[in-house]
A and B are shown apart, each in its own frame.
Chain A
Amino acid sequence: MGKLESRNIEKYFIHDGKPLKTLDGIDLNVEDGEFVCIVGPSGCGKTTFLRIAAGLEKPDEGQILLDNQPLNNTGPDRIMVFQEGALFPWLNVQDNVEYGLKIAGIPKEKRNQISHRYLDMMQLTQFATSYTYQLSTGMKQRVAIARALVMEPDVLLMDEPFAALDAQTRDLLLVEMQLIWQKTKKTIIFVTHNVAEAVMLGTRVLVFTHRPGRIKKEFKIDYKRPRISEDENLLPYQQKILAELRPEVKK
């Protein structure tokens, strides 16, 4: 029994009037505190799987269990960080970060206290009153991560959150993400198409097949942290994963 369990998840989409199988029996057991990265070719259903885990989409077969309880709706126990952040432009940074707490009816003083902690962790304190149009893409993703962490979810679901960042900003956030994970001991499922990113972050990396998505192979990454992108000792891991991934991308 793991923290989050996926049992035989299948999903179809309607394409040109015909059902198209997108996920083909995803069986996965994520242990408490694990950092699982999913890599796969585009269109392999990795984002769909994450959305099903978040309860934003329903599977056609199978179920998701959290602490052994089957789930069929979305909720703050599994918070999703979206690819483009999905920050609310009408709220400033602090109000964005506090949104989920406010919805939950937590009083203002308590909210401020919690948000300050995470704004500080994400080095956003001086931007607390800024609006999203005043922030760089990297800053926006920091806010999105802070907004997710504030909810103290059981599982953090991250959908290519660093895909739109420049290389320097991404390297910085990849290191910070590891520190946050070590500090908060969160269970994280992280979807990416970038193998180097997966190897830096994951305790385990899953390779999805081309559509319909299945788990082709998984790799344990036992290596000291924080891992940095220049570390050549990570290359053999990347090469092994790429060897599995390459034929799928070409399909």
Chain B
Amino acid sequence: MKPSLLAKKIGFYAMIIIVWQGLDSADIWPDNIFPSPVDVVEDLAYGVADASLFYGIGTSILRLIIGLTIAIAGGLVLGIFMARVETVNQTIGSLVLGLQSIPSIAWVPLAILWFGLTDTGIIFVVVIGAIFAVTINTYTGVKNINPSYIEAARNMGAKEGQLITSILIPAAFPFIISGFKQGWAFAWRGVIGAELLFSFLGLGFLLNVGRQLNDVSQVIAIMLVIMGIGILVDGVVFKKIEDKVMTRWGLR
């Protein structure tokens, strides 16, 4: 990051905190409705001190990783099948488009009925929330592969199975990575949403606890943590992978 850009960003966030503190000092709203930045930081510090925050983050992230891994594996298989077998596309493909329009949170009641208030239920919501984004992007990616790549590989002796791992997935990777990114975003929303309703450990659960205790600073603190993890994954993890892929694949 350029120093001038960094300065701009620091200035911007410093301003938000100053305005926030100013509004709090003006005593327009009571502290139990509108906490000061210091209250929020204190709350985060408690969370760090008794490790409940780390436990919450760890629980949510673990659910996310398990769910997203299943969604990525399933989405890749489904997407490639749809792209390579027209019948699969005409049948399952239309269903996938329909299912993708259901917000992941709408799967929660079904997940509770099927799996009870368990980890499996939450992971189910994460998987179902992320899998279709991975599927559709993989499908689009495979459909958009330069046909010469496939012809060259077959000409050099690649069989269908070898074609999938050595050509289809790497050639479609710029699209597939967008699918992972979308899938992660859906999964992250899904895990927090599901935890709120399941109220069974994790950051979503901590949000709910904050609400039940009328502890606004805890609610805001947890929201900041959720946002922070989002920024970290999007802006660091995915940005690095995307930059590398775009350059190597000659897309920039």
Contacts and interface: CB of A to CB of B under 8 A. Distances in A.
A90 B173 contact: yes
B170 A88 contact: yes
A100 B157 contact: yes
Contacts of A100: 156-157
A151 B162 CA distance: 17
Size class of the A contact interface (CB-based, 8 Å): 20 to 34
B156 A151 contact: yes
Contacts, number: 63
B156 A133 contact: no
Contact of A133 (B154, B162, B171, B248): B248
Nearest to B246: A133
Interface stretch (B75-83, B117-125, B144-152): B144-152
Nearest to A132: B250
A89 B248 contact: yes
B249 interface: yes
A181 interface: no
A99 B156 contact: yes
A19 to B, nearest CB: 22
Contacts of A151: 156-157
A88 B156 contact: no
Contact of A54 (B146, B155, B249): B155
Contact of A82 (B148, B162, B167): B148
A56 interface: yes
A212 interface: no
A226 to B, nearest CB: 28
Interface stretch (A73-81, A227-235, A241-249): A73-81
A44 B154 CA distance: 25
A80 B171 CA distance: 20
A88 B167 contact: yes
B248 to A, nearest CB: 5
Nearest to A75: B157
Contact of A99 (B151, B153, B249): B153
Best-buried of A56, A104, A132 by chain B (most CB within 10 Å): A56
Contacts of A219: none
Contact of A89 (B157, B162, B249): B249
B118 to A, nearest CB: 40
A34 interface: no
A103 B153 CA distance: 9
Contacts of B173: 90
A167 interface: no
Nearest to B151: A56
Contact of A131 (B162, B170, B171, B248): B248
A31 interface: no
A88 B155 CA distance: 14
Given A54-B155, A86-B149, A90-B171, A103 B162 contact: yes
A84 interface: yes
Contacts of A103: 153, 156-158, 162, 166
Nearest to A84: B148
A54 B153 CA distance: 12
Contacts of B250: 89, 132-133
Interface in A133-188: 133, 147, 151
Given A76-B157, A86-B152, A103-B166, 17 more contacts: A74-B151, A75-B157, A80-B152, A86-B148, A88-B149, A88-B171, A90-B171, A90-B249, A91-B170, A99-B156, A100-B156, A103-B156, A103-B157, A104-B157, A132-B250, A133-B248, A133-B249
Interface of A: 54-56, 74-76, 78-80, 82, 84, 86, 88-91, 99-100, 102-104, 131-133, 147, 151
